Amino acid sequence: MLQTAGDPENRPSVNLDILERAAARAAQGGADLLLAPEMFLTGYNIGREAAEAVAEPADGASAVRAAQIASTHNVALCYGYPERDAAGLIYNSALLLDRDGRQLLNFRKTHLFGDLDRAMFAPGAGTAEVAEVAGMKAGLLICYDVEFPEAVRALALNGADLVLVPTANMKPYDAVSLYIVPARAFESELFIAYANRCGSEGELDYMGLSCVGDPSGGNLVLAGDGEELVFADLTTEALERGRSLNTHMRDRLPEVYGRLVGSR
C-alpha cells in the first residue's frame, strides 16, 4: 500500500509519477498488488469546480498511463480518482487494474461523507462486484463505505476474499484503522486493505494509519502517520485459518434481518 500526501499541487501527471516509483519499489519487494489512496490522482479536498475540471472517464488518459505502469512493473494497481461519466456526472471512483494493465473493476463511492463529498460527487450504485486479482477474489470500497457493515458483507456474500479500500481519512477518526477495519475483516471473514493519505490538505489533517485487517482479528500491519510503502503478506492459508475459526458467515440468520434494509 502507498501511504502518501501526493503532489502538493494535485497534478495527475505528477501523482502518476509517484505511483510509478511506488510500483517499481513494490515490485522489487515482491508485491503482486499496489493500493493507493482515495482521489489519489488529483487530491481529495479540492472542491466542486476543480473536481469537474480534472475528472476523466474510466478509460481516460490517466487510466492509460496507469495501465502502462502496471504492465511495465508487472504489478496490479488500485487507486482513487474523480470520474466523469457519459452524462457528465462526477463520481469519487477507484480503478483496479491487473498486472497486465487490464481493467478489472471501476467502483464509485456509494456512501458520501458530509458536505465535502456531497458538494463534489454523485453517489455510486454499490454493485458489490468482485474480480480475481493476485490470486484472490477482490472487491472495492472507498473510505466511508467500509464503515458500513452491510457494504463489506455484500462483497463477502459475493465471494470476496479481499476488500481494497482507498481512503482519505482525517483526524480524529483513527478508530476506523484501529478498530473498524479489523472488525469488518473479522466479521466477514476476509482481508481488508485500507490505504490512507497523510499530511494535510486545506483544513483536513490526514492521519495515515493505513492498515490491513485480518480475518482472524486485528491488523496484519498498521502504518505510522507519514509517507510509507506498506507491505503485507495475504495468504490463502491465513484466510482459510480465519474462516475455520470464525463462524459468523455460516451462522447468519438472514430471515431476521429484514428490517435492516427498510427505509428509515
Q: Which grid cell is 86? A: 457519459
Choose the catalytic residue: 56, 78, 143, 147. Answer: 143
Q: Which grid cell is 213? A: 485487517
Choose the catalytic residue: 20, 83, 109, 147. Answer: 109
Specify whether 237 is catalytic: no
CA distances from 259 to 110, 152, 158, 248, 262 (A): 21, 18, 21, 19, 5
Specify whether 171 is catalytic: no
Which distant-in-sequence residues (6+ apart) come within 8 Å of 14 by Cβ? 7
Choose the catalytic residue: 38, 56, 83, 147. Answer: 38
Other CB atoms within a 10 A radius of the CB of residue 154 amount to 17
DSSP one-letter code for 5 = -
Decide if 146 contacts 192 (C-beta within 8 A): yes
Which pairs with CB-CB distance under 8 Å and at least 24 residues apart come from 123-127? 124/91, 124/92, 124/93, 126/151, 126/154
Report the phi/psi class of residue 129: left, alpha or beta, with left for phi > 0 and alpha for psi in -120 to 50: beta
Q: Which grid cell is 223? A: 502504518
Specify whether 137 is catalytic: no
End-to-end CA distance of the chain: 37
Report the phi/psi class of residue 6: left, alpha or beta, with left for phi > 0 and alpha for psi in -120 to 50: left
The catalytic residues are: 38, 109, 143
